[in-house]
Amino acid sequence: MKKSLIVLALAAATGLVQAEDTLKKIKDSGTVTMGVRESSGALSYTLGDGKYVGYHVEICQKVLADVQKQLGLAKLELKYQPVTSQNRVPLVQNGTVDIECGSTTNNATRQKDVAFAVTTFVEEVRIAVKANSGINSVEQLVGKTVATTTGTTSVLTLRKHERANGVNFKEVFGKDHADSFLLVDTGRADAFVMDGSLLAGLISRAKNPADFKIVGEVLSVEPIAIMMRKDDPAFKKAVDDSIKAMIKSGDVAKLYDKWLIQAIPPANTKVGLPMSESLKTALANPNDKPAEDYAKR
């Protein structure tokens, strides 16, 4: 008996045991913590002074308003917790963050540790370079320095791409997406491999957007989704039901237009990224399938 208690205590300490479900936690505390990114393109970014905006941020705000209504709470305090590519999964696992609303790829490996809502964005991994770099394809990265963000899978995706066979390049890592983009901007890297929407967002907010371009073939197609704790079916259902209702009402399409097509703050520039056919398909048939399913197509 004592041994089992010790095992239970150790499991709890490592986040393997959930003491209470998320809906109960929210109801009892009257608060919820949303994980947000500081520079994830138009999906999730900061305007400064603790203000976070973006396509996924606004979707999550609407989801949590529905959760508040479901729980019958007169007031729900929403706290924002900035996360990075490195710490986002652990912070969801250990309960620091209740719902992560950034730019996280839903893949089979991550599904072992966390759960994902139905897909709300489908990303195409591309390459951003200086417009005058002369680089237009993967093959031209031979001997070049390629930047990516610590904790992401983009360079691994590049290395696995058939056209990257025999292409040797040096890797440098930015601590976040803005830092990785700065490596290209300042000439410390020749290219930045990342999700196309993030690249487009960063370029749109650059001092001189015309100095950059997105080139090359699509390296991979990946579903991006809102992340939450694993093995919490009641909370996942609440999130999924809210998103499905937003898809059905057309609200998700309106939010996509607001953040990815129209001019956005703070510089009032446009990302200008039309909705892909892959995302249209995902919204027509809401699901939480991982990236591996997309690779089979």
Q: How far apart are CA 44 and CA 52, in angstroms?
A: 7
pLDDT at position 243 is 98
Buried b / exposed e across 184-196, counting CB within 10 Å, b at 16+? Answer: bbeeebbbbbbbb
The letter for the amino acid at 184 is V
Task: Return per-residue pLDDT of the chain as tens, 297 residues.
Answer: 444 444 434 444 444 444 459 999 999 999 999 999 999 989 999 999 999 999 999 999 999 999 999 999 999 999 999 999 999 999 999 999 999 999 999 999 999 999 999 999 998 889 999 999 999 999 999 999 999 999 887 888 888 887 888 899 999 999 999 999 999 999 999 999 998 888 998 998 899 999 999 998 889 888 999 999 999 999 999 999 999 999 999 999 999 999 999 999 998 988 888 898 889 999 999 999 999 998 765
Q: Which CATH entry fits the domain spanning 123-221: 3.40.50.720, 3.40.390.10, 3.40.640.10, 3.40.190.10?
A: 3.40.190.10
- Burial of 4 per CB tally in 10 Å (0-12, 13-18, 19+): exposed
Q: Are 147 and 141 in contact (CB under 8 A)?
A: no
Q: Are 180 and 148 in contact (CB under 8 A)?
A: yes
Question: CATH code for 17-120+225-295?
Answer: 3.40.190.10
Non-local CB neighbours of 198 within 8 Å, separated by 6+ positions: 40, 41, 43, 103, 177
pTM of the model: 0.79
pLDDT at position 163 is 84
The reply to whether domains 17-120+225-295 and 123-221 share a CATH topology is yes
157-180 per-position pLDDT tens digit: 888 887 888 899 999 999 999 999
- Nearest CA among 103, 125, 121, 104 for reference residue 113: 104
Domain definitions of the chain by residue range: 17-120+225-295, 123-221
Percent of the chain, pLDDT > 70?
Answer: 93
pLDDT at position 12 is 45
The string of DSSP codes covering 115-143 is EE-S--EEEEEEEEEETTS---SGGGGTT
Non-local CB neighbours of 107 within 8 Å, separated by 6+ positions: 153, 222, 290, 291, 292
